Amino acid sequence: MAKYIYEHKNWTNFLWQDKVINAVFGEVKLMQGKIIGQMNALGLSAKEEATLTALTLDVVKSSEIEGELLNYDQVRSSIARRLGINTAGLVPSSRHIEGVVEMMLDATQRYTFPLSEKRLFGWHAALFPTGHSGPYEIEVGKYRTGKMQIVSGAIGKEKIHYEAVKPKLVKAEMDKFLDWFNNDNQLDPVIKAAIAHFWFIIIHPFDDGNGRIGRAITDMLLARAESSGERFYSMSSQILVERKRYYEVLQKVQHSTGDITEWLEWFLHCLKKAMLATENTTQRILRKAEFWKLYENTTINERQRIILNMLFDGFDGKLQSSKLAKITKVSTDTALRDIKDLIEKGILQETGEGGRNTNYELADFTLN
């Protein structure tokens, strides 16, 4: 059996081949600058909307990687409340969601503060407010005292994918990690984010929640890289898309003798794709902001406002009067009146296709 990386002496003196990662690293840095530029051109409300969307996705998708589905609206509402963003349709959030959001916002909004053992324990406690992970009782707000294996397969035929650092060594390994995290400023923060993620996952210091805390640490360093708590892309969303490869690369590089090129290359490509996905979202947010600027003096009722925002945010399927009636909880006649009013104002138009039910879409608009 190949040795684990941490079984080698001075295992944290990581090496990588610059020539392999330089091109993608350059692209990431370029895109980072471009996204920040695009976002700074947005008005305050559009910028807040972009941050709210990215942070919500990050929280939801980071949990989904672990197989846990969180309610999107509850997460969004919790973040909006904590950041003081005025947004329509806030809903109450569960205690568990509040905890997950608290960790993510502490990482991304207080990114300049040192990362300490106490802070990590606070995050862990916030993730597991009941002291349980599912039906299992776990050690909360402290490093694990038991051995940690990642295993699959039936009892008697288990396959060990990974065995983490021995429990008695966790504290010393984490002290070393935190010292590097807080005091080594020679690396570019993007490269540092990639290394921190890998290093933390290799130690696996907690009974549970290591993946989510590892990704929060990554987001904290990406916020440092941009000197901003405003988040405009979601790394966790992209990791979820590439989850299989994420685990494959981690599994492969955990047996390395110190060369982590393959991990860094995968991480940077993943980050690049996360940023590309944001460009599309940004275009949508920009279009929505332009629309409301154009129609700021037009009388639009609350029901119409709800449906227009939904159309900008990516409405599922075709808009019909029956759907509008259902969403806004009014009669089909009222919904049809709302639609006709928007057609007269040049905001909606009928789609070209005929058929029994008439479908509607946003009319083209341009700012003069």
d(CA 101, CA 311): 27
Asked if 219 contacts 231 with a C-beta cutoff of 8 angstroms, the reply is yes
Does residue 187 fall inside a structural domain? yes
| pLDDT of amino acid 112 | 97
What residue type is assigned to position 274 of the chain?
A
pLDDT digits 0-9 by tens, 107-119: 999 999 999 999 9
Sign of torsion over alpha carbons 325, 326, 327, 328:
positive
Does residue 367 fall inside a structural domain? no
Domain shared by 268 and 310, yes or no? no
Give the residue-averaged pLDDT of 288-301.
Answer: 89
Structure confidence at residue 355 as a pLDDT band (50, 70, 90): low
Does residue 271 fall inside a structural domain? yes
Domain shared by 134 and 251, yes or no? yes
Does residue 290 fall inside a structural domain? no
Phi and psi (nearest 5°) for 207? -60, -35
Structure confidence at residue 150 as a pLDDT band (50, 70, 90): confident
The number of C-alpha atoms within 13 Å of 116 and in the hemisphere containing its C-beta is 7
Task: Give residue 302's domain range.
Answer: 295-362
Bridge partners of 152? Answer: 159
| pLDDT of amino acid 128 | 96
d(CA 325, CA 45): 28
d(CA 48, CA 44): 6
Domain shared by 317 and 240, yes or no? no
Assign residue 112 the CATH number of its domain.
Answer: 1.10.3290.10
Q: How far is CA 256 from CA 7, 147, 252, 334, in A?
A: 10, 21, 7, 66
Reported pTM: 0.84
Does residue 289 fall inside a structural domain? no
pLDDT digits 0-9 by tens, 7-66: 999 999 999 999 999 999 999 999 999 988 888 877 788 888 889 989 999 999 999 999
Structure confidence at residue 354 as a pLDDT band (50, 70, 90): low
Q: Looking at 229, 261, 284, which one is the last position of a domain?
A: 284
Domain shared by 123 and 14, yes or no? yes
Domain shared by 242 and 137, yes or no? yes
- Looking at every residue in the chain, the average pLDDT score rounds to 92
Domain shared by 72 and 148, yes or no? yes
Domain shared by 271 and 190, yes or no? yes
* Alpha-helix residue ranges (DSSP H) falling in 93-228: 95-109, 117-127, 167-183, 189-203, 210-226
Specify the DSSP element, H or E, that contains 160: strand 159-163
Q: Looking at 254, 284, 314, which one is the last position of a domain?
A: 284
Structure tokens at 136: 């299992």
| pLDDT of amino acid 198 | 98
Asked if 350 contacts 358 with a C-beta cutoff of 8 angstroms, the reply is yes
Label residue 69 exposed, middle or buried (CB < 10 Å: 0-12, 13-18, 19+).
Answer: exposed
**Kind of pairing, strands 159-163 and 360-362?**
unpaired
Label residue 6 exposed, middle or buried (CB < 10 Å: 0-12, 13-18, 19+).
Answer: middle
Does residue 111 fall inside a structural domain? yes
| pLDDT of amino acid 298 | 94
Structure confidence at residue 289 as a pLDDT band (50, 70, 90): confident
d(CA 339, CA 302): 13
Does residue 244 fall inside a structural domain? yes
Domain shared by 21 and 145, yes or no? yes
Does residue 331 fall inside a structural domain? yes
Domain shared by 309 and 208, yes or no? no
Give how many domains the chain has, as a whole number: 2
Q: Looking at 249, 284, 319, which one is the last position of a domain?
A: 284
Domain shared by 338 and 255, yes or no? no
Lowest mean pLDDT among 15-19, 39-43, 123-127, 159-163: 39-43
Assign residue 345 the CATH number of its domain.
Answer: 1.10.10.10
d(CA 219, CA 132): 25
Domain shared by 261 and 311, yes or no? no
Domain shared by 277 and 318, yes or no? no
